Every structure is written in C-alpha cells, then in structure tokens.
Amino acid sequence: MPVDLRPSQALRLMQEVNLSLVRDSEQDLSARQLTILLTVYLEPPPHTVRGLAAKLKVTKPAITRALDTLGSMRLLSRKRDEADKRNVIISRTVEGSLYLEQLGDLVAEKAKTLPR
C-alpha cells in the first residue's frame, strides 16, 4: 500500500528515525553501511563485494570497509565463493535480521507520529 508523504513529512520521518538511532543504538550506522545492510536483506541473493560496489557506484575498498564494520557488529557475514575464489559472498545473520526488524518497527512507529 503506497504511503503519501509530503517532502517535509518524509524529511521529518528521516530525522526522527536517525535521531532515535543515534540516541539509542550502541553504534549507529553510516548511510553507506545501512544501504548495504538493507540491500543484502531486501534484495535476493547472492550478494558479492563486486556486485554491491557496482550497485552503489562506489569502489570495492569502500564496500570492504563498510563490511568490516557490519561484520564486527555481526549484522552480515562474508566468505570466499568456493566456485570462484575471486568473489566474496555476503550473507545475512540472525543479528542482522533482528536489527532490521527493530529498525522496521522504529520507522513504522515514527511514521505514526508524523503531523498530518
């Protein structure tokens, strides 16, 4: 079901969600890290460093740095592709699923409080 927001409401929602993440999370994610995380969870696998770099139009080292952080937080994992050792496969984790479930709940909660 489409949601009809005015630009000011959309920006307010972004502000409220990000404010909550900064205040309440142990470690808040950068826009790049969050985009990678959402891409891996919302789009069908497989996901590779090369594929994410192409999709986001950033370098492979930029993806690798983001994955280092996301991996240390256990939100994603990665391993070498046995079929093609040049590829690194990015996988979902239980912790990442829980993080995004809570994020989805937060966005829905904040959307309900938007002034109409």
pLDDT for 5 beyond 80 = yes
Is position 92 within any domain?
yes
Q: Number of folded domains in the chain? A: 1
DSSP label at 114? S
Residue 82's pLDDT band, with cuts at 50, 70 and 90, is confident
Percent of the chain with pLDDT over 70: 99
Contacts of 90 (CB under 8 A, 6+ apart): 36, 40, 47, 48, 49, 52, 67, 76, 77, 78
H helix intervals, 25-59: 31-42, 49-56
Stated pTM of the model: 0.89
More confident residue, 84 or 63: 63
Is position 98 within any domain?
yes
Domain hosting residue 99, numbered range: 7-112
Is position 2 within any domain?
no
What is the domain-level CATH number for residue 71? Answer: 1.10.10.10
